């Protein structure tokens, strides 16, 4: 089975998660969609990963899905999102991913995320500092990478063999 992990990210969190997933799926090709557009016909399974920023998936991922939806409907698909608010995963998915693709995906996971202040622009830094203060007020922990969700997706994909 030939597997593609296609992702786009604003920081390194989604890239790191794609690589962690790739380690659990030997032979999988990992492609940064901001640099390369893969040929979906070359794969049996396509895993799509994106960061969430202000409720939206990365524009490159949104365009990749829109441009390749018919092809994605003919292969096994899985979707992962990296975000600082995992409790909103369903809202993010429904807002950004076509429902028919969500319904046919063999695995959908939230891999968590990390709120980092640098290297963002000044406006982004102010927003993230505000979010961090709210986490402290709510006595909530900042999110981190969810390795269990990464393992669960890998298991779901490996069951397809």
Q: What is the pLDDT of residue 50?
A: 97
Q: What is the pLDDT of residue 158?
A: 95
Q: What is the pLDDT of residue 11?
A: 77
| Whether 51 contacts 11, CB under 8 Å | yes
With CA atoms as reference, report the closest residue to 149 among 110, 94, 91, 114: 110
Q: Are strands 56-57 and 45-53 parallel, antiparallel or unpaired?
A: antiparallel
Q: What gap in Å lies between CA 82 and CA 49, rounded to an integer?
A: 8
Q: Does domain 3-114+144-158 have CATH number 3.40.50.360?
A: yes
Q: What is the pLDDT of residue 140?
A: 44
135-139-140 Cα angle (round to 5) = 55
Domain ranges of the chain: 3-114+144-158
pLDDT tens, residue order, the chain (161 aa): 899 999 998 878 899 999 999 999 999 999 999 999 999 999 999 999 999 988 899 999 999 999 999 999 999 999 999 987 788 889 999 999 999 999 999 999 999 876 654 555 666 666 566 655 555 544 445 558 899 999 999 999 999 97
Helix, coil or strand: residue 4 = strand
Q: What is the pLDDT of residue 73?
A: 97
Task: Give me the torsion for CA of 29, 101, 54, 10, rounded to 10°.
Answer: 10
Q: What is the pLDDT of residue 135?
A: 53
């Amino acid at each position: 089975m030939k597997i593609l992990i296609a992702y786009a990210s604003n920081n390194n969190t989604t890239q790191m998660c794609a690589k962690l997933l790739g380690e659990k799926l030997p032979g999988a090709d990992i492609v940064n969609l901001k640099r390369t557009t893969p040929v979906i016909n070359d794969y049996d399974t396509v895993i799509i990963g994106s960061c969430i920023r202000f409720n939206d998936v990365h524009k490159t991922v949104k365009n990749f899905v829109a441009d390749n939806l018919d092809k994605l409907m003919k292969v096994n698909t899985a979707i992962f999102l990296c975000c600082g608010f995992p409790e909103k995963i369903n809202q993010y998915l429904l807002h950004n991913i076509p429902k028919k693709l969500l319904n046919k995906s063999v695995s959908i996971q939230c891999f968590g995320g990390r709120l980092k202040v640098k290297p963002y622009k000044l406006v982004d830094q102010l927003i993230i500092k505000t979010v961090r203060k709210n986490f402290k007020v709510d006595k909530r922990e900042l999110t981190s990478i969810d390795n269990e969700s990464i393992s669960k997706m890998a298991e779901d994909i490996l069951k397809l063999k």
